[in-house]
C-alpha cells in the first residue's frame, strides 16, 4: 500500500509542469558563477539564468594528494570532456600519501584540529580552487568530511572533540577565505549520518554563513539518506541530493515529490572499478536520476577519486589515475552531456504515470525499469532502457503533428534514425541490438540535430560501435 501511495503521489506531481524551458547550454564563456536556485525550484541556475546541468566527477583527494601541476592536468582533462563540477575534500583525513598533509608536506592544522589552520596548506587549496574556476568548474567543497560511518576515514572524532565555538570559528575562517570564490557550493558532512555531531556541524554552518552569505549548501549523509532527511528544519539547506546504492529512480522520485520543491542531484552512487560495477550500471544511475527530475549527478572512478592514494588501493583494481581518466565511464558521462544539452533538458518532466512510455517499461523496483521524461514545451521525449526490449510510446504530448525518433547508444554516443511518425500515433519500437539504449523522440517543430553522430557499427550487422577517442587525446 505504501508503494501504491507513493506512486500515486509521484503521478500527481508529474502533472504540475514547470515554467517554459530556460536557455539550455551555457554561453561560450561558461557558466556565470555563483549558482542560485532557479524560479521553478527544480534546478540551479547561473547568474544569467542558465540552468546548470551538473556533470560532476568525484575528486575527493584533489587538494591533498596531487601537487599543483598534477591537479591542473586533471582539471584540464575534465574540462575537455565536459565535466563542470568536482566533489572535493578541503581537508583530507586518510586518502593521501602524507595525510592529512598535502603533497608538499603541509598539514591543514598546526595543532588542534579546526582551531589552528595552516596558511601554507590553504594557499595550495586556494590555487586548486582558482584553477577550477578558470576552467569553468564548480567545486562541491566539503570543509569537514566526517568519513564512512563516522569512522577513521574522516574528521568525525575531531569534530566530536571540538567545541561549538571552535566549529563556529572554523566555519567563519573558511567562509571568509572562500567568500569571493564564485565557483563553490558548500558540502556539509560526508558519508555518515550527521546526527551525532549535528550541533557542531550547525555551528560550522553558522560560522560559514556569518562570513559568506553568497554560496549554497548541500549535505552529504550516509548512503540511503537524501541530503535534507537529517536536517528537516535547516533553512540553510536549499539544495538536496540523493546518495544511493542502486535504483536511483526510486530515490529520485522521493526527492522530486518533496514540497516545496528543492533542486536535487545524485551526489554519490557506485564508482567505476569498484565492487564489480559495470559500465551499464554507471550509465543507468546517471540516466535514471536525470530522467526522474534530478539536475545532474556526480560520477566516480577508482583510482581517480583518490589520485592514487595508497590507502585507497583496497577499493579498486590497481592502475594509474591518469590512465583511468579516459576509461569508458568518463566517456559515457561526456555522451550524456552531449545528448542533454542538444535538447531542452531543464524542461523535462518525469513520466511517472506512464502517459508517454505506455508499455515495456518493466517492473518498478527492478534493475531493468525504464524511465522516461517529456519536455514541458513538447519538444522532446527521452526514455532510458537499461536492457533491450520493445517499448510502446505515445507521442501525444509532443508539439505539432510529426515527430522524429532516434536510438541513441549511451555507451558510444552515436545515434540511429528510426524515422518520422505522426505524433497522434502510439508506436512500438525495438532497439537495434542488445544492451542499454536511449529512445529520443523530437517534435519536428524544433528541428533538433541528431542526438549524436551517425551510428556506425563495426563487424557483424547490429554490433555496437566502439567509443570514439577522448577529445584532446592523441
CATH code of residue 418: 2.60.40
CB neighbours of 418 closer than 8 A, spacing ≥ 6?
Answer: 404, 405, 406, 407, 429
Same domain, 56 and 186: yes
Do 240 and 352 fall within a single domain?
Answer: no
70-125 tens-digit pLDDT: 999 999 999 999 999 999 999 999 999 999 999 999 999 999 999 999 999 999 99
For residue 35, is the peptide bond before it cis, meaning its omega torsion is within 30 degrees of 0?
A: no
* Final residue before a domain boundary, out of 341, 376, 396: 341
My answer on whether 225 and 299 are in the same domain is: yes
In a domain, 406, yes or no: yes
Instruction: Determine the pLDDT at residue 275.
Output: 85
Last residue of a domain, one of 303, 319, 341: 341
Same domain for 253 and 195, yes or no, is yes
Instruction: Decide if 123 is inside a domain.
Output: yes
Residues 364 and 388 in one domain: yes
Q: For residue 185, is it within any domain? A: yes
The answer to whether position 229 is within a domain reads: yes
**Same structural domain, 256 and 159:** yes
Indicate whether 298 and 432 sit together in one domain: no
Q: Which domain holds residue 408?
A: 347-446
**Residue 371 pairs with which residues in a beta bridge?**
384
CATH code (residue 126)? 3.20.20.80
The pLDDT tens digits of the residues spanning 150-198 come to 999 999 999 999 999 999 999 999 999 999 999 999 999 999 999 999 9
pLDDT at 287: 98
- Planar angle of CA 113, 118, 123, nearest 5 degrees: 130
Structure confidence at residue 458 (pLDDT) = 34
β-bridge partners, 308? none
SS3 at position 198 = helix
**Do 424 and 307 share a structural domain?**
no
Average pLDDT, the chain: 90
Task: Kindly state whether residue 452 falls inside one of the protein's structural domains.
Answer: no
Integer Cα distance of 245 and 228 in angstroms: 18
> Does the global pTM surpass 0.85?
yes
Residue 332 and residue 367 in one domain: no
Tracing cell 586548486 back to the chain, one arrives at 128
Q: What is the spatial distance between Cα 193 and Cα 215, in angstroms, rounded to a whole number?
A: 23
Average pLDDT value for residue range 452-471: 40
pLDDT of residue 316: 79
Strand pairing of 264-268 and 240-243? parallel
Q: Does 230 fall in a domain?
A: yes
DSSP string, 29-44: T---SSPEE-TTSSSE
Collapse the DSSP code of 184 into the 3-class scheme (helix H, G, I; strand E, B; otherwise coil) and give the result: strand
Q: Considering the domain boundaries, does residue 1 fall inside one?
A: no
Q: Looking at the predicted structure, is the pLDDT value of residue 18 above 90?
A: no
Is residue 22 scored above 70 in pLDDT? no
Residue 422's CB is within 10 A of a number of other CB atoms, namely 11
pLDDT band for position 29 (cuts 50, 70, 90): low
pLDDT value at residue 6 = 36
Q: Give domain status of residue 59, yes or no.
A: yes
Cell numbers given for 172? 567563519
Q: Do residues 243 and 363 both lie within one domain?
A: no
Q: Are 301 and 173 within one domain?
A: yes
Could you tell me if 160 and 306 lie in one domain?
A: yes
In whole angstroms, give the CA distance from residue 162 to residue 154: 14
Count how many domains the chain has.
2
Amino acid at each position: 500500500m505504501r508503494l501504491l501511495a507513493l506512486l500515486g503521489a509521484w503521478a500527481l506531481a508529474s502533472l504540475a509542469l514547470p515554467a517554459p524551458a530556460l536557455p539550455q547550454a551555457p554561453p561560450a564563456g561558461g557558466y556565470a558563477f555563483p549558482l542560485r536556485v532557479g524560479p521553478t525550484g527544480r534546478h540551479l541556475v547561473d547568474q544569467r539564468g542558465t540552468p546548470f546541468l551538473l556533470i560532476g566527477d568525484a575528486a575527493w583527494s584533489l587538494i591533498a594528494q596531487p601537487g599543483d601541476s598534477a591537479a591542473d592536468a586533471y582539471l584540464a582533462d575534465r574540462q575537455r570532456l565536459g565535466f563542470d563540477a568536482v566533489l572535493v575534500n578541503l581537508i583530507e583525513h586518510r586518502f593521501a600519501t602524507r595525510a592529512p598533509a598535502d603533497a608538499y608536506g603541509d598539514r591543514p592544522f598546526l595543532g588542534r584540529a579546526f582551531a589552528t589552520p595552516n596558511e601554507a596548506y590553504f594557499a595550495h587549496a586556494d590555487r586548486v580552487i582558482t584553477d577550477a574556476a578558470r576552467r569553468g568548474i564548480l567545486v562541491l567543497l566539503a570543509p569537514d568530511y566526517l568519513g564512512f560511518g563516522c569512522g577513521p576515514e574522516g574528521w568525525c572524532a575531531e569534530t566530536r572533540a571540538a567545541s561549538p565555538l571552535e566549529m563556529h570559528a572554523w566555519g567563519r575562517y573558511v567562509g571568509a577565505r572562500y567568500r569571493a570564490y564564485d565557483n563553490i557550493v558548500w558540502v556539509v558532512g560526508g558519508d555518515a549520518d550527521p546526527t551525532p555531531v549535528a550541533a557542531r556541524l550547525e555551528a560550522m554552518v553558522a560560522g560559514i554563513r556569518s562570513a559568506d552569505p553568497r554560496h549554497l549548501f548541500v549535505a552529504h549523509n550516509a548512503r540511503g539518506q537524501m541530503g535534507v532527511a537529517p536536517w528537516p528544519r535547516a533553512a540553510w539547506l536549499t539544495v538536496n541530493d540523493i546518495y544511493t546504492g542502486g535504483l536511483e529512480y526510486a530515490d529520485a522520485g522521493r526527492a522530486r515529490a518533496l514540497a516545496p520543491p528543492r533542486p536535487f542531484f545524485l551526489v554519490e552512487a557506485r564508482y567505476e572499478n569498484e565492487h564489480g560495477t559495470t559500465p551499464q550500471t554507471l550509465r543507468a544511475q546517471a540516466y535514471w536520476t536525470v530522467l526522474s527530475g534530478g539536475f545532474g549527478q556526480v560520477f566516480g572512478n577508482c583510482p581517480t577519486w583518490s589520485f592514487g592514494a595508497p590507502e585507497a588501493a583496497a577499493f579498486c583494481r590497481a592502475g594509474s589515475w591518469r590512465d583511468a581518466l579516459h576509461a569508458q565511464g568518463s566517456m559515457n558521462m561526456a555522451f550524456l552531456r552531449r545528448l542533454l544539452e542538444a535538447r531542452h533538458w531543464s524542461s523535462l518532466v518525469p513520466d511517472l504515470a506512464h502517459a508517454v512510455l505506455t508499455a515495456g517499461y518493466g517492473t518498478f523496483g527492478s534493475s531493468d525499469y525504464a524511465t522516461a521524461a517529456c519536455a514541458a514545451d513538447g519538444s522532446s521525449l527521452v526514455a532510458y532502457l537499461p536492457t533491450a526490449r520493445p517499448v510502446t510510446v505515445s507521442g501525444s504530448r509532443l508539439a505539432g503533428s510529426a515527430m522524429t525518433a532516434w536510438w541513441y547508444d549511451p555507451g558510444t554516443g552515436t545515434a540511429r534514425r528510426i524515422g518520422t511518425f505522426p505524433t497522434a500515433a502510439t508506436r512500438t519500437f525495438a532497439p537495434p541490438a542488445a544492451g542499454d539504449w536511449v529512445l529520443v523522440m523530437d517534435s519536428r517543430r524544433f528541428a533538433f540535430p541528431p542526438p549524436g553522430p551517425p551510428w556506425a557499427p563495426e563487424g557483424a550487422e547490429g554490433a555496437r560501435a566502439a567509443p570514439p577517442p577522448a577529445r584532446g587525446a592523441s
